[in-house]
Amino acid sequence: MTSLVSPTVTAPTLTAVEVERIRNDFPILGQRVNGHPLNYLDSGATSQNPISVMEAEQEYYEQRNAAVHRGAHTLAVGATEVFEAARETVAAFIGASSDELVWTSNATEAINLVTYSFSNASLGLGGGAAKRFALGAGDEIVVTEMEHHANLIPWQQLALRTGATLRFIPILDDGTLDLIAAAEIVGTHTRVLAFSHASNVTGIINPVAELVRLARRVGALVLLDACQSAPHFAMNVVDLDVDFVVFSGHKMLGPTGIGALYGKADVLADMPPFLTGGSMITTVSMEKAEFLAPPQRFEAGTQRISQAIALAAAVDYLRETGMDKIGGWDKELGQRLVAGLGEIPGVRVLGPGVGVERLGLASFDLAGVHAHDVGQYLDDAGIAVRVGHHCTQPLHRRLGVTASTRASTYLYTTTDEVDEFLATLREVAPFFGVTA
């Protein structure tokens, strides 16, 4: 498994003092839940927002609210400028050019944008340039067994619409990808390879370079789901050499309702649009329409203006804090989580154990106690975790469980909070009368 940080170099990290300072920027963390201080360990689902992000969205509505790319009056021009400045900020965060970043409502929509564009190309839309995306019988789409439903179901549906075949790379018993099988599955019929940068269940960081190499060997396009990686690690899409990257704002200190699709400029230029209507056209007659160049070609209708501006403020916060430090802290907390869970009787961690690089999250099964009961006990103590299948039913099925409990950290999580979670979890099995 390739590492995002060289194993021979000590990675920078946040200090306890820095984490406490960061926490002061997040008002929600100061509240009490069920009589206890909130211990928020569900950032893998949705992160919290610093004051600067909330203020950025409020400032837009108070001072700049207008339709972008439409009005010629001063307020509209100013709104358009800050909207496009936000695009430049977020694109730069991942090493992209601003014309390679398409705003979407979330990563799910971003993946659907790609699959429906390919579907339209398969119908002959988009002209000769779009033929490279056309799929049919005999073509194969490859995903992995660990994918979030958002990076599985759209490809299932695309296969059904086009007659292509969907295949998947299986995982091994430890939750890692079976790379031997991957080398056999990604073959001459593979047109698309889509996979997650990091698992939202096991915390595993996938070997992007090795998977991209397999795809490039056969000329396949690559889509990377970076929902769990973009918030936690510095990443550069040019270095990764993927064709598409998707991520969501609400997992990286931003608001809900905003996400993004990165696409290589030449790839986006050849893709037919998914949504059509206003703001994405050049010329319209009663018989036909011609479309703008990307990214506007894929941004029909009124956009998520305030959310994009707030996401840019979130990116500024992350960059000022230091992505290397955030990544180092995340990994420290991840190791602390999995080490502590391994000492609790009856706990089975999903995925690898101590020493294997992982995100600051861990999912587990507690023998004899349903995940929902575990979550309820923790919630009574003010500890917020995620329970269920985490939108990964095939992965859970492969690992032999129907549901799990997940604790996930972020830059505002303290070691004391992790330790409190572990101590409280020790109480759960005895409370329900379960003995190891």
What does pLDDT average to in each consecutive run of 10 residues of the chain (436 residues)?
40 94 98 98 98 98 95 95 98 98 98 98 97 98 98 98 98 97 98 98 98 98 98 97 98 98 98 96 96 98 97 98 98 97 98 93 98 98 98 98 98 98 98 89
Instruction: Count up the domains in the chain and report the number.
Output: 2
One domain, residues 249 and 167 = yes
One domain, residues 244 and 156 = yes
One domain, residues 46 and 172 = no
One domain, residues 39 and 63 = no
pLDDT confidence of residue 282: 96
Range(s) of the domain holding residue 406: 16-50+322-431
Mapped onto helix, strand or coil, the DSSP state of residue 225 is: strand
Output the domain CATH number for residue 330: 3.90.1150.10
Vertex 130: Cα angle to 129 and 131 (nearest 5): 95
Q: Which of 92, 153, 267, 391 is catalytic?
A: 391
The answer to whether the Cα torsion of 24, 25, 26, 27 is positive or negative is positive
- Among residues 2, 29, 89, 68, which one has the least CA distance to residue 299? 68
One domain, residues 21 and 76 = no
pLDDT confidence of residue 10: 64
- Between strands 140-144 and 383-384, the pairing is unpaired
One domain, residues 23 and 68 = no
Supply 197's token pair: 């940068």
One domain, residues 71 and 23 = no
Q: Is 391 a catalytic residue?
A: yes
Q: What residue has token string 């002209």? A: 127
Question: Is 343 inside a domain boundary?
Answer: yes
Maximum pairwise Cα distance, the chain? 73
Residue 124: Cβ-neighbour burial (10 angstroms; 0-12, 13-18, 19+)? exposed
pLDDT confidence of residue 381: 98
